[in-house]
Amino acid sequence: MAASARALRAQERRGTTYGDLAYDLDAMSREYALRHAGEDVRREAVPSPKVRSVTAPRARQRQHLSVVSVLGFLAVTALAVVTLSQYVQLTVISSEVVKLQSELSELQTENVSLTTKYEQTFDLSTIKEAAEAAGMSKPSSSQIYYIDMSGSDNAVVYQRQEAGVLSRVFTSLSHGIYAVVEYFD
């Protein structure tokens, strides 16, 4: 018997599997049975469970709230409120963007129609038709006057009189006051 147990252990050490790669879960129980074969098995007496008497239930002690946990809860609540308000602002801005995009598309359509009308005003045939409808016609030779500019060019430059010291002070003061008023407007 001991020889077969040694042979079994030797096979397990060498890793022999004989075509089966599954673990042999009963190997330890077989080895134990082979070692202790023929021994007298005596069972120990199982102690009886102890019964405990229960008295009146005790109330739990009051637990104290930690200041850190209260501050943490308040911080989380504040962050949740801020996040929700930011989502509301994002929704409002998104709706404004949609409105502005629709207004932009309308304005682009209007721009195309107005540009077409503007280009039609410079169409020569349209201008000629509008002028004839208003009663306009080409000028006759009696309505055309020519100016003779063959004479020499002359220019007369007049010198201004120099302003006095007092008038220059008042002029610079008025320019300064004007600049200050213009700055604040």
Q: What average pLDDT does this structure show over 34-55?
A: 70
Residue 32 clears pLDDT 70, i.e. is over it = yes
| Euclidean distance between the first and the last CA atom of the chain, given in angstroms as a whole number | 116
Q: Give CA–CA dist 178/182, Å, rounded.
A: 6
pTM of the model as a whole: 0.32
| Per-residue model confidence (pLDDT) at position 3 | 65
* Residue 169 near residue 177 (C-beta atoms within 8 A): no
* Residue 12 pLDDT grade (very low, low, confident, very high; cuts 50, 70, 90): low
* Residue 51 pLDDT grade (very low, low, confident, very high; cuts 50, 70, 90): confident
CA dihedral 86, 88, 93, 99 (to 10 degrees): 170
Name the average pLDDT for the chain: 82
Q: What average pLDDT does this structure show over 123-142?
A: 85
Residue 117 clears pLDDT 90, i.e. is over it = no
Angstrom CA distances, 161 to 58, 152, 168, 172, stand at: 114, 29, 13, 18
